[in-house]
Amino acid sequence: MANRGLLLLTLLAVIAHSIDRSGKPACVLAGNSAAGNQQSAPAATMSGMNMAHMYMTSLRPLQPGDQQRVDAIVAAAKQAMAPYQDYRKAVADGYQPFFPNIPQPLYHFTKYKYGLEASWHFDPLKPTSLLYKKTADGYKLVGVMYTDRVDANEEELNERIPLSVARWHQHINFCKAPLGKRAEYFGPHAKFGLAGSISTKEACEAEGGVFFPHVLGWMVHVYPYESDPKKIWSTDDDDHGHDNMDHSAMPGMKMN
């Protein structure tokens, strides 16, 4: 497991890198995992993100019953969100805001107990994170994030949410910078972290770094208040909706 110092450093590094490039914070999170998952597929486009650090499941053909299952999950997500329109109620119930003082287009309020439970059991009424947008007087609830453990295969993901509709994603190929090179998490020519140019174990070790094949586990965002199905399961909307992966923090499990 990566330590919390690495988690913090990585988050700040990738956010700083993105702000330097585009004025908006980028996607993050650090952790370690088991061996690489062979069932996922590289994402084709993610709004400028270094795709060497992102894997996504591929869309499958729609199967009988998939739409009914998806509709039930969206309804459950709405039910799970209903008590938490006021973010203070979420905090009182154990949802912790992830770096609330760092500007982000989406703020993840994460309940780590639910994240742990989600490693072994899917309950759409218990999302790992609630997704809020900042407003002038607080936060507006817009969605939820579900998670699964890093070594879950695509069949398990499909049992949770049909892969004909949802595209789960992982953050991958993280090179932890050695002491003396941590400044290279930052800037337009970053080498390390999820925004860095290094994406292989060989290149990482050549720079004196430590390589992690995955950071955290599988994640998927759901925006059940949307009327357009594509926006309900948004993964890349070029800044016109919620879930632009290039500019979102993506917290999942708590690191030890």
pTM of the model: 0.75
Instruction: Note the pLDDT of residue 236.
Output: 53
233 within domain boundaries: yes
Digits of tens for pLDDT over the chain (256 positions)?
444 444 444 444 444 443 333 333 333 333 333 333 334 444 443 333 467 888 999 999 999 999 999 999 999 999 999 999 999 999 999 999 988 888 888 999 999 999 999 999 999 999 999 999 999 999 999 999 999 999 999 999 999 999 999 999 998 999 999 999 988 988 888 999 888 999 999 999 999 999 999 887 999 999 999 999 889 998 753 333 444 333 333 333 332 3
252 within domain boundaries: no
15 within domain boundaries: yes
Rg (CA), the chain: 17
121 within domain boundaries: yes
9 within domain boundaries: yes
Instruction: Note the pLDDT of residue 52.
Output: 86
Instruction: Note the pLDDT of residue 164.
Output: 97
DSSP string, the chain: ---HHHHHHHHHHHHHHHHHHHSS---------SSPPSS-EE-S--TT--GGGEEEPPPPPP-TTHHHHHHHHHHHHHHHHGGGSSHHHHHHTTPEESSTTS--SSEEEE-HHHHHHHTT---TTS-SEEEEEEETTEEEEEEEEEEE-TT--HHHHHHHS-TTT---EEEEEEEEPPTT-GGGGSSTT--SSTTSS--SHHHHHHTT-EEEEEEEEEEEEE-TT-SSHHHHT-S--TTSSS--GGG-----SPP-
Residue 240: exposure state from Cβ atoms within 10 A (0-12, 13-18, ≥19): exposed
208 within domain boundaries: yes
254 within domain boundaries: no
Give the number of domains in the chain.
1
Domain that includes residue 225, residue range: 4-247
169 within domain boundaries: yes
